[in-house]
Amino acid sequence: MTGVPQEGAAAVPALSRRQLAALIDHTLLKPDATPAQIEQLCREAVEHGFAAVCINPVYVPLAAELLAGAAPVVCTVIDFPLGAGAAADKARQAEAALAAGARELDVVQPIGLLKAGRHREVVAHLHGVVALARKAGALVKVILETGLLTPEEIDLACRLAVEAGAHFVKTSTGFGAGGATEEAVRRMRAAVGPDVGVKASGGIRDYATACRMVAAGANRIGASASLAILAGAPDEPA
């Protein structure tokens, strides 16, 4: 992979369409999404080689059936988009989603508890989901909603997510205050180190932005504009 060096920053990789697709969670979380749109999303995920489809829990059984034996996995969201439910509710949602075929769970952290300094409770909310996922061989991404956090709170949230055993930290729901920024992604990568994933999501609409997120440290992109993002990508690696 080659890239154009940027002064004071990591080189922005010139990812090919296939390389970038393999990093993208092809996302449809709108409340009015229909089963027909989910079917279309799954077809597109297979055709383009996306990492996953990211959908609401109601559609996990449908997507799991459509993607059985295919490479893209089913990702769903837990306690989305607020993260304000009880720990037991997060666990119940996770259990149901895993039983229905989800292999990746994007759970919103309890943001208010983090801000209140109730760190043990934050870890408990997340660990309940992680424990269930690990038993099922599934991955957990903790959505921080970085637009609501100070830089120090982003660092802290990353540490607590790692302590809870999460596989990824993720910037945003796409339904809250602000989306992914390069600054937040860079900060999250520094906080979690090389062995935990960073998913940039929320407001990523084009190829150049997606590549900048990767340069900042993201190894997964969540986007509802995935097809527009791929449209800007070269066929072959530069």
Ligand X SMILES: O=C[C@H](O)COP(=O)(O)O
Residue numbers at the binding site for ligand X (CB under 6 A): 27, 29, 54, 173-174, 179, 201-204, 222-225
Catalytic residue (one of 25, 79, 90, 106) = 106
Alpha helices in 25-150 (DSSP H): 35-48, 60-66, 87-99, 111-115, 119-135
Choose among 134, 138, 127: nearest CA to 102: 138
Residues pairing with 139 in the sheet: 104
* Whether residue 30 lies in the annotated active site: no
* Whether residue 199 lies in the annotated active site: yes
- Minimal distance in Å, beta carbon 109 to ligand X? 14
* Whether residue 115 lies in the annotated active site: no
- Minimal distance in Å, beta carbon 17 to ligand X? 18
Nearer to ligand X, 109 or 201 (CB): 201
Pair of tokens at residue 140: 């957990």
Catalytic residue (one of 25, 79, 90, 199) = 199
Q: Looking at beta carbons, which residue is closest to ligand X?
A: 174
Nearer to ligand X, 90 or 235 (CB): 90
Catalytic residue (one of 115, 170, 195, 235) = 170
- Minimal distance in Å, beta carbon 73 to ligand X? 15
Give yes or no for a contact between 181 and 153, defined as CB atoms under 8 angstroms apart.
no
133 exposed, middle or buried (CB, 10 Å; 0-12, 13-18, 19+)? Answer: buried
Give yes or no for a contact between 54 and 75, defined as CB atoms under 8 angstroms apart.
yes
- Minimal distance in Å, beta carbon 45 to ligand X? 14
- How remote is the C-alpha of 177 from its chain's centroid? 16
Nearer to ligand X, 37 or 124 (CB): 37
By annotation, the residues acting in catalysis are 106, 170, 199
